[in-house]
Amino acid sequence: MAAFALLRIVDAFVVLNEVKILPDDFMPTLREMVSFRNRVVHIYWDVDDEAVYRIVQEHLNDFDRFTTLIADYLERHEADSEE
């Protein structure tokens, strides 16, 4: 795998998508996550408390999906390296 210079947080997800670790259908969700993170970090005074609550209540499974995809890749990669 080539070395990549990450200019934006979303670039990490793009690279993982390009090497088929993250599926195409998950990319819009990841972009939304990065966008919301940027808003919380850089424009925190204008973050809607209700939006934060809704995300915590309805979208924590996105983190589960991300960690599962990464863990599955690592398990496959580990199995391949043992052969």
Write out pLDDT tens, residues 24-67. 999 999 999 988 888 888 898 989 999 899 998 999 999 999 99
Does some domain include residue 49? Answer: yes
Instruction: Please determine, for residue 72, whether its predicted confidence score (pLDDT) is greater than 50.
Output: yes
Does some domain include residue 1? Answer: no
Residue 1: the pLDDT is 46
- Which DSSP state fits 5? -
| H-state helical runs in 1-83 | 9-18, 27-42, 49-58, 60-82
Residue 61: the pLDDT is 95
Residue 8: the pLDDT is 76
Residue 69: the pLDDT is 97
Domain count, the chain: 1
C-alpha pair distances (Å), 71 with each of 21, 27, 64, 66, 83: 10, 17, 10, 9, 19
**Residue 4 three-state SS:** coil
Does some domain include residue 20? Answer: yes
Residue 6: the pLDDT is 53
- Which DSSP state fits 22? S
**Position 83 confidence tier, pLDDT thresholds 50, 70, 90:** low
Q: Which domain range does residue 56 map to?
A: 9-82
